Amino acid sequence: MTQKALSGKKSVFSGVNRVRVSDLVIAFIVLLLSLTCVLPFIYILAKSLSSNTAVLSQKVFLWPVGFNVNAYSSIFRDGKMTHSLLYTAEVTLLFTVIGMLITICAAYPLSIKGLKFKGFFSFILMFTMYFSAGLIPEYLLMKDLKLLNTMWSLVLPLSFSAYNMLIMRSFFASTIPDTLYEAARLDGASDFRILFSIVLPLSKPILATLSLFYAVGRWNAYADAKYYITKQSLQPLQLLLNNMVLDAAGNDAISIAEGAATQSTPEVLQSAAIMFATIPIICIYPFAQKYFVQGTMIGAVKG
C-alpha cells in the first residue's frame, strides 16, 4: 500500500527521467547505513568458521580463513546451547499461544460498541501498562506463587500485553463493521459464535502479526530470566549467550570448551555461539518483517 502510493507520487515530480548526482549520494548513504547492519554479522560468521590461528593473527575479515566447523561441532557436542534452543522454542510457543488467547478474550469484548462497563474493564487491563509495581514486589510475587526457577515464570507474567491488546481491539473495531455484528446478533448468533465464525476468520493478518510480536518479544527478552531463573537448565538462549560472551570471564564458554574437549579458542567459540543464537531470528525475519511493519502502523495510529 505504502509502496504504491509512494511510487505514484514519485512519477508526479521526478519529471525528467534522469538520475542526478543527489540521487546517487542519497543511495550511497543509505547503502552505507545498510552495510552497518549486515557486515558485523558477516564478520562474526566468518570468524566462527575460521581456524584459530587465522583469528589469532587477525587475518579474518568478511571471509573465513582456514575454513572449519569445529566451533559449531563443539557446541552441538556440548549440547547446552542446543538444549537451550529447544527449550526457548518451547517457552516461546507456550507464551505466544497463551498470550494470544488472553489477548483475544480481552480485545473482542472491548471492541464491541456499547459494551456496558467498557471503561471499567479497559482501565483494569491497561493500568498495569502505565504503573508497574517494580522489580522487587514482582519478584516476591513470583516467589509466593512458587514460580521461581520454573519455566512458567517466563511464560505467564508477561504473556498479556496491553499494547498488543490495543492493536487487536482497534483492528477488530475497524475491520468488523457494527452492521455485520448486529445482523449476526439478529440472526440469533451468540457472542461466542460471532467471535469464532466471523471475527477470528476475518482477522487472520492481525492474529499473525501479534503472534509474531509476542514470539519475537519472548525470544529476545532475558531480563526476567536473569531475575527469576538460577538453574542453568531453565535458562533461555539469550541468557546463556549472555553468560558465555558478556559475563565477566565468559565462564560458560570455557565450560563448553572443557565439556566438549574443543580445539577452538574462546573467541572462535563465542563467535559461533553468537551466530547460533542469531540464525533463528534471521531465518524467520524475512517473513516476519512485513507483519511487524503492519502491526506497528496500527499501533502508531491507535496505540
Partner 1 sequence: MMKDRKKFKFHHRNSTLKYLASHWQLYVLLLIPVAFVIIFKYAAYPGLRMAFMDYKPAKGYAGSKWLGMGMFEKVFKDKDFFRALKNSLIFNFLDLALGFPVPVILAIMLDQLRFQRFKRINQTILYLPHFLSWVIIASVALSLFKPQSGIVNIILRDIGAIETGIPFLTEKWHWMWTYLLIGVWQNMGWGTIIYLAAITGIDTSLYEAATIDGAGRLQRIWHVTLPGIRPTMVTLLILNLGRVMGSNFERLSAFSNVNVKEFQYQLAIYVYEKGLAGSNFSKATAVGLFQSLTGLILVVAADRVAKRLGDDGLM
Please tell me the number of Cα atoms within 13 Å of 81 on its side-chain side: 31
**Shortest distance, CB of residue 7 to partner 1, whole angstroms?**
6
**Shortest distance, CB of residue 138 to partner 1, whole angstroms?**
5
Residue closer to partner 1 by CB (options 47, 80) is: 47
**Shortest distance, CB of residue 79 to partner 1, whole angstroms?**
20
Q: Is the C-alpha dihedral spanning 272, 274, 277, 278 positive or negative?
A: negative
Residue closer to partner 1 by CB (options 201, 286) is: 286
Residue closer to partner 1 by CB (options 175, 261) is: 175
Tell me the C-alpha distance between 19 and 16, whole Å.
Answer: 9
Tell me the C-alpha distance between 165 and 161, whole Å.
Answer: 6
Could you list the beta-strand ranges (E) of 19-164.
none
Tell me the C-alpha distance between 260 and 245, whole Å.
Answer: 17
**Shortest distance, CB of residue 185 to partner 1, whole angstroms?**
9
Is residue 66 left, alpha or beta, with left meaning phi > 0 and alpha meaning psi from -120 to 50?
left
Residue closer to partner 1 by CB (options 61, 76) is: 61
**Shortest distance, CB of residue 36 to partner 1, whole angstroms?**
6
Residue closer to partner 1 by CB (options 249, 261) is: 249
